Structure 1
Amino acid sequence: MAQPTAEPVEDYDYEALPPNFSLLQNMAAGAFAGIAEHTAMYPIDAVKTRMQILNPTATPAYTGVMRSTYQIASSEGLFSLWRGMSSVIVGAGPAHAVYFATYEAVKHAMGGNQAGVHHPLAAASSGAAATIASDAFMNPFDVIKQRMQIQNSKKMYKSMVDCARYVYKNEGLGAFYVSYPTTLSMTVPFTALQFLAYESISTMMNPTKQYDPLTHCAAGAVAGGFAAGLTTPMDVIKTMLQTRGTSSDPQVRNVNGFMGGCRLLLQREGFRGFFKGVKPRIITTMPSTAICWSAYEFCKAYFIKLNSTSS
């Protein structure tokens, strides 16, 4: 009887995560993707924060991406655009490790890793579960980041640790999580939409689900931009809640939840106020998600191929 021939090393099953993609490797890929995503477009994210803050007395007003970038760089120095990035680097790695580990575990449990088959419910559900887990870890770091992005923050905080101490001392532990429900109201639908769009586009472009950098980059960019635009209103309220402790406006300082933020924003700026910063948010998110998915899928393919070669 003829002996079965061994499969060549190159024909590894990219989607067969267990047992060919360990939890530790998955978390390492996620951490690498998270840091790459958040640091690449950080200056535009800083501009978005300035544009979203509800402060009618701010001078100058931040009204456009290019104009605001120039205003910040010329008045506060070029490196002010990167102020607070250390908080993202410290938090994004572990948060995205948890994020992608949860995503892959839930997706696999729901049967979403079958090659050639599209599972929109598995994609959306795994994305939502991943977000709930990672945001619980990342929310305090996001608060620190936004506090350091605001105008004149250099006078208040010397570093990430100094900012954390200041917030805790003056506003208590709750200040780090007051925006968590609002963050989830934004990130759960954002992630569900993004993962649904990403899986749909990538499956359409690459039905065999083999590693393809162009597919992962393009699908990630389109999915991220689509989800970012639709969830901008929740992002505006999140920014209000995370920066309220720095406001001189008593109404802003007393906002303590999503509905209170919505009422104040509607009263002050009308419906248009809910889409403040939508352009820099999309401009930031599209390349960020493209980088994130590309970095994650690259690491995923590398580790799976490495495991196949060594087995």
Structure 2
Amino acid sequence: MSNERTPTIGVRERLLSAVTGSLLTSLILTPMDVVRIRLQQQQMLFDCVCDVEGTSLAKIEPAKGLFWQDACFQDVSCKTGPVRYNSTWDAFGKIAKTEGITSLWRGISITLLMAAPANMVYFIGYETLRDKTQLQESYPTLNPLMCGAVARVLAATSVAPLELLRTRLQSIPRSNPSSTAAMMIKDLIKEGRLEFSRIGYRAFFRGLEITLWRDVPFSAVYWGCYEFYKKNSDTFVAKSSSNNWNQFINSFIGGSFGGTIAALLTHPFDVGKTRMQIRFSMSDSKSLKPSNNMFKYLNEIRKSEGIGALYTGLIPRLIKVAPSCAIMISTYEVCKLLFST
């Protein structure tokens, strides 16, 4: 099993395999993204107090706030306000109760729009590089790490503007029942135009550098662990009479294993990515702007909030990443196997 190669299939079949996996993971696991982002942004909220009429009673410092905050956002913009998430499950319950259960799937349309092309570039790019590069023969252990890293750079860059839009959309609390995702997207586009007028095309790639610092090592570790598991799968899982079932189980376990290890190692970059993409950015004063240097920015968080702040949202990310990687790779591998028969 470890040295077997899946029969050759065409690009169309690979595309369909990637799209199928993307749809499944997006529909099932989007709530984990919403919860993770809400947990990660809590310490960035204004430390303000609001009266019953919603009037701000504290001076607001732009560098410490989020892009969506007004002077007072019906208490949800206050760090000491009533909507405070104490854990992953507490966040689930409070978001569903105060904003409606559908808020947990906010941004699903953007997720679906970006997931299919991103995963097509990612998986097809990885397999093409893996099978064509000279490293396959010379350095078989290093090959999946390098190919996975290059494939992730291509995939992350290709959908960076959509990733920024989704992250910002999922970070906004619903202030009243009449507000809809469409209204929020309209405001986000308006915000994007203002930023574009100030800094040009870079506005659409905000946080891309730290995204790559998260995704490239993640991809290298993930594919390294996955290929290692595949080569040694006979040791861990007993074979059944069904080849499709063997492929599914081995891919599922290998994907979950690789995703978990990679998520643990790269989570601080995920926290930095979220914060960098949703922080207040319209001030022209350099003294009010946090550092754009990735390592300095993470160190600022560590010094001001402690090392634990760099692991905020780890639980929902693991809950999302492990099954997401497992579902995506197992669906992809099984679909390829089915298309090849």
Per the TM alignment, residue 32 of structure 1 is displaced from its structure 2 partner at its CA by 2.3
- The 3-state SS of whatever aligns with 1:21 is coil
* 1:55 corresponding residue in structure 2: 44
Residues 164/28 of structure 1: CA separation in 2 closer, same or farther (3 Å cut): farther
Residues 228/68 of structure 1: CA separation in 2 closer, same or farther (3 Å cut): same
* 2:312 corresponding residue in structure 1: 276
Residue 183 of structure 2 is aligned to residue 148 of structure 1? no
Per the TM alignment, residue 157 of structure 1 is displaced from its structure 2 partner at its CA by 5.6
Q: What CA distance in whole angstroms lies between the structure 2 residues aligned with 1:125 and 1:267?
A: 33
Q: What CA distance in whole angstroms lies between the structure 2 residues aligned with 1:164 and 1:174?
A: 16
Residue 267 of structure 2 is aligned to residue 232 of structure 1? yes
Q: Which residue of 62, 79, 90 maps to 1:67?
A: 90
* 1:309 corresponding residue in structure 2: none
Residue 132 of structure 2 is aligned to residue 109 of structure 1? yes
* 2:151 corresponding residue in structure 1: 130
Residue 28 of structure 2 is aligned to residue 40 of structure 1? yes
Residues 153/135 of structure 1: CA separation in 2 closer, same or farther (3 Å cut): farther
Partner amino acid, structure 1, of 2:279: R
Partner amino acid, structure 2, of 1:92: A
The answer (yes or no) to whether the contact 1:26–1:300 under 8 Å persists in 2 is yes
Residues 39/253 of structure 1: CA separation in 2 closer, same or farther (3 Å cut): farther
* 2:56 corresponding residue in structure 1: none
* 1:198 corresponding residue in structure 2: 226
Structure 1 unmatched ranges of 5 or more: 1-12, 306-311
Q: What CA distance in whole angstroms lies between the structure 2 residues aligned with 1:79 and 1:205?
A: 39
Residues 32/257 of structure 1: CA separation in 2 closer, same or farther (3 Å cut): farther
Once the two structures are superposed, the pairs formed by residues 1-311 of structure 1 within 5 Å of their partners are 15=5, 20-53=8-41, 54-56=43-45, 57-58=78-79, 59=81, 60-110=83-133, 119-152=140-173, 158=182, 162=186, 165-172=189-196, 173-206=201-234, 212-245=247-280, 254-305=290-341
The answer (yes or no) to whether the contact 1:14–1:301 under 8 Å persists in 2 is no
Name which of structure 1's ranges 59-68 and 30-39 shifts more when overlaid on structure 2: 30-39
Q: What CA distance in whole angstroms lies between the structure 2 residues aligned with 1:291 and 1:112?
A: 28
Partner amino acid, structure 2, of 1:168: G
Per the TM alignment, residue 14 of structure 1 is displaced from its structure 2 partner at its CA by 6.5
Per the TM alignment, residue 226 of structure 1 is displaced from its structure 2 partner at its CA by 1.1
Per the TM alignment, residue 82 of structure 1 is displaced from its structure 2 partner at its CA by 0.5
Name which of structure 1's ranges 145-154 and 125-134 shifts more when overlaid on structure 2: 145-154
- 1:84-131 CA-to-partner distances (Å, cap 9, x unmatched) read 1111100110111111111011100136889xxx93211111111110
Per the TM alignment, residue 241 of structure 1 is displaced from its structure 2 partner at its CA by 1.2
Per the TM alignment, residue 198 of structure 1 is displaced from its structure 2 partner at its CA by 0.8
Per the TM alignment, residue 176 of structure 1 is displaced from its structure 2 partner at its CA by 2.3
The answer (yes or no) to whether the contact 1:148–1:163 under 8 Å persists in 2 is no
Identity of aligned residues (%): 26
- The 3-state SS of whatever aligns with 1:241 is helix
Computed over aligned residues only, the root mean square deviation of the Cα atoms, in angstroms, reads 2.9
- 1:126-156 CA-to-partner distances (Å, cap 9, x unmatched) read 1111101100112211111111111325759
Partner amino acid, structure 2, of 1:218: I
- 1:46-94 CA-to-partner distances (Å, cap 9, x unmatched) read 1001111142443322231111100100011110001111111001101
Name which of structure 1's ranges 153-162 and 87-96 shifts more when overlaid on structure 2: 153-162
Structure 2 unmatched ranges of 5 or more: 46-77
Per the TM alignment, residue 160 of structure 1 is displaced from its structure 2 partner at its CA by 7.6
Q: Normalising by the residue count of structure 1, what TM-score does the alignment of the two structures yield?
A: 0.83
The answer (yes or no) to whether the contact 1:222–1:286 under 8 Å persists in 2 is yes
- The 3-state SS of whatever aligns with 2:292 is coil
Partner amino acid, structure 2, of 1:268: S
Q: What CA distance in whole angstroms lies between the structure 2 residues aligned with 1:171 and 1:78?
A: 32
Q: What CA distance in whole angstroms lies between the structure 2 residues aligned with 1:163 and 1:41?
A: 26
Partner amino acid, structure 1, of 2:105: W
Q: Normalising by the residue count of structure 2, what TM-score does the alignment of the two structures yield?
A: 0.76
